[in-house]
A = this chain, B = another copy of it.
Amino acid sequence: MATLSDVARRAGVSPATASRVINGSSKPVTEELRERVLRAVADLQYVPNAHAQLLARSHRVAVGVIVHDVSDPYFAEITRGLQRVATDQGRLLTICNSYRDPDRELEYVELLRGQQVAAIILAGSGYHDATFTSLLNEKLAAYEATGGRVAVIGRHEHSGDAVMPDNRAGGRLIGAELYELGHRAIGVVAGPAVLTTTTDRLTGLRESLAAHGLSLPAHRVRHAEFDRDSGVAATAALLDADPELTAIVALNDSMAIGALALLRSRSVAVPRQVSVIGFDDMPIARDVTPALTTVRLPLVDMGARAMSLALDPGAAVPRVEILPAEVVRRDSTGPAPAPTTRVR
Contact = CB atoms under 8 A, between A and B. Distances in A.
A317 interface: no
A115 interface: yes
Contacts of A287: 228, 257, 260-261, 284, 288
Contacts of A52: 51, 55
A47 B97 contact: no
Interface in A215-262: 228, 257, 260-261
Given A95-B95, A288-B288, A110 B261 contact: no
Interface centre among A142, A257, A287, A288 (most CB of B within 10 A): A287
B289 A45 contact: no
A71 interface: yes
A146 B289 CA distance: 53
A15 to B, nearest CB: 16
Nearest to A52: B55
Interface string A37-52: 0000000010111111
A49 B45 contact: no
A273 interface: no
Contact of A139 (B45, B77, B116): B45
A142 B43 CA distance: 11
Contact of A71 (B48, B76, B114, B228): B76
Nearest to A92: B111
Prevailing SS type, chain A contact patch: helix
Interface string A78-121: 01100100000000101101000000000000110111100000
A134 B139 CA distance: 47
A95 B92 CA distance: 11
Interface string A131-151: 000000011001000110000
A1 interface: yes
A286 to B, nearest CB: 8
A283 interface: yes
A51 B283 contact: no
A320 interface: no
Contact of A70 (B1, B51, B76, B146): B76
A297 to B, nearest CB: 16
Interface string A271-302: 00000000000011011110000000000000
A54 interface: yes
A158 to B, nearest CB: 16
A73 interface: yes
A94 B94 contact: yes
A115 B71 contact: no
Contacts of A257: 284, 287
Per CB-CB distance, the 6 closest pairs between chain A and chain B, nearest first, are: A289-B289, A71-B76, A45-B142, A51-B51, A50-B114, A1-B146
